[in-house]
Structures are given as structure tokens and as C-alpha cells.
Amino acid sequence: MAFLEVKNIRKTFGETAVLKGIDFTLEEGEVLSIIGSSGNGKTTLLRVLNFLERADQGKVLVDGEVIFDSDQTMDEKTIREKRLKLGMVFQNFNLFPQYTALENVALALNLREEEGLKGEKLNFFQKRAKRKEIKEKNSQIAMDILKKVGLEDKANLYPCALSGGQQQRVAIARAMALKPEILCFDEPTSALDPELTGEVLKVIKELKETSNITMIIVTHEMEFAKNISDKVLFMAEGKVEAFGSPQEIFEESNNPIVQAFLKRDWQGEQA
Ligand SMILES: Nc1ncnc2c1ncn2[C@@H]1O[C@H](COP(=O)(O)OP(=O)(O)OP(=O)(O)O)[C@@H](O)[C@H]1O
Ligand SMILES: [Mg+2]
């Protein structure tokens, strides 16, 4: 049994079938890159895995546990628990502009613990003290994570005072704070100027080297995909057209669709 099992995921928007039966597996600690031309369902697949979209059909298991099954209905609380197994870093960072870098990273941690407080019988003053304690502890955790992405000196700045690369590093820290088992990235560098791409890719590479987190990265950065991935999934028209090691996909594939795509990308065109 693989760590992540994705089985027959299908998704249709109106008349358009976007995911037409996606199957793949991934082992714990592996990095998967998803590549392919624009509009063929890469983002939709990540959104389905992160419960941002509900698949019409299919199943997803993490470490043997069903986290999504189109044949089952799950209540909100169960969905909230299951979705914590995955984290998402978006193309456009999606930071909260009204919070500092540190607050952006600590926010979800605070919310989760404050939610837990609701069940406790505490008076106003006890609650206030507990909230303060939670906030201080989580600020420390958030600071430690910001250090890992090289941003401890920017902790108190608001997103508008950060470069795109720095904002994306905060977004990575924020996703890491919740300790997901699988971290997903949707084209994490495509909204950045080319000179800022490197710092974000470096952080992702360091994450791979220093943690055992499983990652799924949708990317148009072919050199990066080649270097960082254990597996590569090539998507075309809502299907898995090819799946294998970087060597198998980038060097050895006889598939004409894969070959045409890679040839185009190597000539510097954006897919
Ligand atoms: N909420 C939605 N409603 C209707 N159609 C949608 C929705 N989300 C995605 N689509 C359609 O699904 C198809 C796949 O989109 P998706 O964003 O998954 O592609 P992609 O592979 O990520 O493309 P890109 O490389 O440009 O990011 C597109 O035709 C898109 O218009
Ligand atoms: Mg996309």
C-alpha cells in the first residue's frame, strides 16, 4: 500500500470534463512534479486533493486512511480534520494583507487552538489568559518556521512590504505550520519575476532535504522538476499521459505527446 493513493478522480464543470479518471500513487517523503500544458486540469487536481473542489467520483487515501470517497458523505468536522493532512501553497501567495508575516503563519495555529477552547469551561479571565498563552506559544513556533525560510528579520512586516519571493516564502511557512503530511504547490514561482524564482525554489529544495514531507508540485520549471522530483506525472487533457521517474519522463519517454511538450518547453516557451 502506497502512502498516497489517488484513485479514478473525475471532475466535470458544466459540460466540460476536466479530470477524466486520475490514478497515481506516491510513497512517503517523495516529491511528485505535475507537468503539462495549460488548461488540462493540474490546478483542479490539486484543488480536489485539498478539498477546495469536490470530485464527482474517486477516492483518495493517505497512509491507508480514506480522506475522500465520492461514495461517502462526510460531515464538516470530519472534512476539516481530513483536509489538515494536506497543505497548499497557491500561485498568488494568498496571504492576508491585514496581518504581518508572523501573524499570517501563526493565524491558523491560533484558530485551531481557540476552537478547542470552546469546549472548556473557563471564565472570561481564564479564557483571556489562555488565549494570550496560545498566542505567545504560536508566535514562537511561527518565528521558528520563518527562520527556516530565511525570513526571521521580516516577521513583523506586512505582505505589501515584502517582495513576491518573500511573500511566497511566508506562504510556504504558513502551510508548513499546520504540519501537513503532504504539501502541495501550484506553480509556486509563476507569479514571480525571474530573478525571484530562485529563492523560492531553493526553499522548496531545502524543505525536501531537511524534512521527510511528501510534496506535490505543479510546475512549468522543467529543470527544477528534473532535479527535485522522485516522480513526474505528465497530464494531458485531464488524464495521466505518463508517470515515472524524471529519467523515464525527461530522458527516455517515447510518448510523442510528452516529447512534443518537452521540446516546446526547452525552447523557452511558456506552456
Ligand atoms: N470553477 C471552474 N468552473 C468552470 N470551469 C473551470 C473551473 N475551474 C477550472 N475550470 C476549467 O477546467 C480546465 C482546467 O483548468 P485548470 O486550472 O485545472 O488547468 P491547469 O492545468 O492548472 O492550467 P494552467 O497550466 O494554465 O494553470 C480549464 O478549461 C478551466 O477553464
Ligand atoms: Mg493551473
The ligand minimizing its distance to the Cα of 18 is: 1
CB 232 within 8 A of CB 35: yes
C-alpha cell at 158: 506586512
Å from CA of 219 to ligand 2 middle? 9
Summarised one tens digit per residue, pLDDT across range 123-138 is 889 989 999 999 999 9
Q: Which atom of ligand 1 is nearest to the CA of 190?
A: 27
Summarised one tens digit per residue, pLDDT across range 256-267 is 999 999 988 555
Q: How many domains does the chain have?
A: 2
Protein residues with CB under 6 Å of any ligand 1 atom: 13, 18, 38-44
With b for 16 or more beta-carbon neighbours within 10 A and e for fewer, the 102-137 pattern comes to: bbbbbbbbbeebeeeeeeeeeeeeeeeebeeebbee
- 173 and 188 together in one domain: no
Q: Is the dihedral of CA 210, 216, 218, 223 positive or negative?
A: positive
Which residue owns the Cα nearest ligand 1 atom 29? 39
Is 9 among the domain residues?
yes
- 258 and 224 together in one domain: yes
Is 243 among the domain residues?
yes
Summarised one tens digit per residue, pLDDT across range 186-198 is 999 999 998 899 9
How far from 37 is each of 99, 219, 264, CA to CA, in Å? Answer: 35, 10, 10
- 190 and 56 together in one domain: yes
- 3 and 75 together in one domain: yes
pTM score: 0.93
- 270 and 202 together in one domain: yes
Domain span including residue 49: 1-85+180-271
Residue ending a domain, among 178, 193, 218, is 178
Residue ending a domain, among 139, 162, 178, is 178
Summarised one tens digit per residue, pLDDT across range 5-25 is 999 999 999 999 999 999 999
- 201 and 148 together in one domain: no
Å from CA of 157 to ligand 1 middle? 33
Å from CA of 237 to ligand 1 middle? 11
- 172 and 192 together in one domain: no
Is 90 among the domain residues?
no
The pLDDT, as a whole number, for residue 116 is 81
User: CATH code at 131?
Assistant: 3.40.50.300
The pLDDT, as a whole number, for residue 271 is 42
